Amino acid sequence: MKKVAVILADGCEEIEALTVVDVLRRAEIKCDMLGLDHENVNGAHGIALTCDGLVDEKILDYDMVVFPGGMDGSYALRDDQDLAELMVQRHQAGKWNAAMCAAPIAFARYGILNNSSYTVYPGMNIDIEAEITNGTYQDELVVVDAAQHIITSQGPATALAYAFAIGEALGRDMSGVKHGMLYDLLAQKIK
């Protein structure tokens, strides 16, 4: 069974974290919520989140590690040196990693967005361009860089598309989950 870790820090964007967890569990992908500093995390909008465990070297064993956005949470992820070292090891080993909204700024700081195509919350690409030596920003809802094993997305409204892209990158057919969640209708009826 594929395993995903969603890394949560205080100030994370709750919809981006929980949408990924919900969608992947519906797709029968094991998905653990891991706290950066503690198991009880306070989201950006005052929602209390209880994690399954804490970040440690075991994240090297996950098929994918996912970062939700939220400014404070993203900066906490970006500035954690132990996490940075683990994420660089994952990237060098060819493991999948994903970040959305403001969180790609952490990947930029770690150096794992170099030579990658990516997206980020609109306007934050300027901050990322200051951190990386070579990368290609794409103004898309979700960007999957299969060669670099990196998935990025723009923000709260793109959380479902991001979660489906994560499942698909792990080899799961997400069409049944999309249909069951009425995602196919969303594209037809959204205004």
Which residues carry out catalysis?
101
State how far the Cα of 36 lies from the Cα of 121, in Å rounded to an integer.
22
Q: At residue 119, what is the residue type?
A: T
Pairing of strands 116-118, 135-137: parallel
Give the closest residue to 86 by CA, choosing from 123, 51, 131, 54.
Answer: 54
Give the closest residue to 9 by CA, choosing from 97, 61, 99, 75.
Answer: 75
Helix, strand or coil, per DSSP, at residue 117: strand
State how far the Cα of 128 lies from the Cα of 4, in Å rounded to an integer.
25
